[in-house]
Structure 1
Amino acid sequence: MLNFDEERFLRIQTGAVAMADELRAAVEDALREGAENLFFLGTGGVGILMRPAARLLQARSTFAVHVLSPAELVVGGSAHLGPRSIVVIPSLSGTTSESVRALTYCKSRGARVITLTGHADTPLARDADRNFTNFAADDTSCESFYLQSLVIALAVLHERGEMPEFDEIVSELRLLPRLLVDLKRAFEPRAQEFAAEIEHEPYHIFTGAGSTWPQAWYYAMCILEEMQWIRTRPVHASDFFHGTLELVEPGVSLILFKGEDETRPLVERVENFAPAYTDKVTVFDTAGFELGGVSPRVRSLVSPILLATALERVSAHLEVRRDHPLTTRRYYRQVAY
């Protein structure tokens, strides 16, 4: 596979799943000591990666969950943040300035801060109440953060008796790293083909729902916009018919992400509408990915992980075809990350 280090990928994703017991213990300790709410605070793309876990909790638990921008929290505050709050701050670098300020702010309010980082000797790793470091890089961080945040959500549900199957689900998650490599290998021809189809497109509309919506938003903003300078319009499938449908006309690229949770029909509604108005509709459906040994229940939880791992192969081909490395930025050094 083009520009892919299999052993490195396996090491990183296996490391993410291996944190399950420690993450569970950290969450259970906080709940048993009286935690009343949970904040997911991530800056930029990594904040988007927390949203499937947050949505799972919002759908299955009465435990209060908040998803906020760290920068906005620091300047605007939250009446819900205090000594009975669990705060989860992810950062690949461990140095993201907005997140570092949010950590300081949350601790000043008495909150318990858990950080998820890609590097240990960093401010976010050193100053948290609990830190979990799993080395990753841009091309491997999506799956790693999705897995870690999913485990946190499952731990909350388990401790509260709202989803008691924690051990069974995690045992299936442990199968994922190797299965994701197989998925990449099987998807490689389609990734190469799709990269060729879209390399000259001026812009794309992305849509998804449920757990796939964050991946649609993330891939549009953090990969195509940031790393390839391609214009995109990410829109939730439930909002598509309240504005964005008016942009659909012949030649407009529309990319749909279909998962396997209860929101699948929302994407299918867009899928049924769009082909009559544009000839460029692409659907990535996780139901078509082989995952031997993974139950339908767990498949519904990992749809964004499957999409992330497949789309990484598209990115690998796209950067070569467009002669635009994924690491190339215009303004990165001018912004305080």
Structure 2
Amino acid sequence: MLSFNEAEFVAQTESLVALRPAIETLVDRLVDEGYDNVLLVGAGGTYAQMWPYEHLARRSSTLPVRAAIAAELVVSGDARLGERTAAVFTSVSGTTDDSLRAIAYCKERGAHTVGFTGHADSPVAQQVDTALVSAPKAWPFDIQLLLFMGRLLSRRGEFEGYHRLADEIAVLPRVLVDVARQAEPAASAFAEAHKDTDYHFLIGGGNLWGFTYLYSMCILEEMQWLRTTRVHSAEFFHGSLELLEEDTSVVVFQGEDETRALTDRAEAFARRVSKDVTVFDTRDYALEGISPEFRGLLAPLVLDTVMDRVSKHLERVRDHSLDLRRYYRVMDY
């Protein structure tokens, strides 16, 4: 597979799975000590990656759980933020300035701050109250966040299948390698067909809306300098559909939760206008060892693996490094 170090990928994913005991111990302590609301704080991709777990809590629990943009939180505040708040942060490098300011802001208001990162000596790891450290560069944070939120809902009697889910997560290092291998031909074909495409229209919903936003803004825009539109499948018919033309590249992210029909509806309309509609569907992957009832919860992680293959092939055909930046962490802002 192109630019895929299987041994490194497996080791990184195993390091995420291995955090289960520490995550469960932390959640049990937070519950026992009476923390009664959760703030999921991120910036850019790490903010978008919080949305599936806010979504899970909203549809399954009465616990107040909300995602927040780090920089906005600091200037706008949050009325519930206080001594009974668990504020969760994620950062691959552990150096994100907006997140560091938000950590300080939350701690000043008495919240217990939790940081998931890949570097124990990073500023994020050093500043949060509880740091849970994986292998360097391990991404995405879905495993940690699903374990955290699943355990929390389980303790509240709102997720009775958590222990089976957590046990099955142990097979993910192997399962995701299989996903990457299966996705490789489609990823290469998409990149070859779109090496000269400078605009993509992305659609996703449910717990894949965060990934849709992330892939649009943080990969295609930030890492490939391509223009995009991103729209939630439930909002597709309220404005953005007017941008479709016969040659518009439409990319649909389809998962397996209760919102699937909304994305099907948007896809069906897009095909009536555009001759260039590509669907990346988690249902196409076997995920051996994962129970049908949990497949939907793992959709963001599966799509991240699939689209990483697409990203690497776009990098190849466009001769545009995914690490190249003009402004991000290059200029002062």
TM-score normalized by structure 1?
0.97
Deviation at 1:336, TM superposition (A): 5.6
Offset of residue 164 of structure 1:
2.3
Unpaired segments ≥5 residues, structure 1:
none
Q: Where does residue 200 of structure 1 map in the other structure?
A: 196
User: 2:110 matched to which residue of 1?
Assistant: 110
Contact 1:89-1:113 at 8 Å conserved across structures:
yes
What is the aligned counterpart of 2:139 among 119, 135, 141? 141
Aligned-partner Cα distance in 1 for 2:236–2:136: 34
Tell me the CA shift for residue 135 of structure 1: 2.5
Match of 1:14 in 2: 14
Aligned-partner Cα distance in 2 for 1:165–1:303: 17
Post-superposition shift, 1:335?
A: 4.6
Q: Percent identity among equivalent residues?
A: 43
Alignment partner, residue 95 of structure 2: 95
- Looking at structure 1, the residues matched to 329 and 281 of structure 2 have their Cα atoms a distance apart, in angstroms, of 37
1:219 alignment partner AA: Y
2:244 alignment partner in structure 1: 248
Question: How does the TM-score come out when normalised to structure 2?
Answer: 0.98
Trace 1:1-337 onto structure 2 (pairs within 5 A).
1-137=1-137, 140-142=138-140, 145-335=141-331
Deviation digits for residues 236-257 of structure 1, max 9, x if unmatched? 0011000011111110111101
Distance 1:29 1:66 in 2: 20
Q: Runs of at least 4 residues of structure 1 off by over 3 A?
A: 333-337
Hey, what's the Cα distance between the residues in 2 that align with 1:116 and 1:269? 36
The Cα of 1:199 is off from its aligned counterpart by 1.4
Alpha-carbon distance between aligned partners in 2 of 1:272 and 1:120, rounded to the nearest angstrom: 47
Q: Tell me the distance in 2 between the aligned counterparts of 1:336 and 1:47.
A: 21
Aligned Cα RMSD in Å?
1.2
| Structure 1 contact 172–298 (Cα < 8 Å) conserved | no
* Structure 1 residues 123 and 3: CA distance shift in structure 2, 3 A: same
Output the amino acid matched with 2:164.
E
- Cα shift at 1:128: 1.1
Output the CA distance in 2 between the equivalents of 1:296 and 1:334.
Answer: 45
- How far does the alpha carbon of each residue in 1:153-178 deviate from its partner, in whole angstroms, 9 at most, with x for none? 10111110111222210111111110
> Are the equivalent residues in 2 in contact too, given 1:97–1:336 (CA < 8 A)?
no
- In the alignment, structure 2 segments of 5+ residues that lack a partner are none
Mapped to 2, the partners of 1:334 and 1:201 lie a distance apart of: 26
- CA distance in 1 between counterparts of 2:239 and 2:24 reads 42
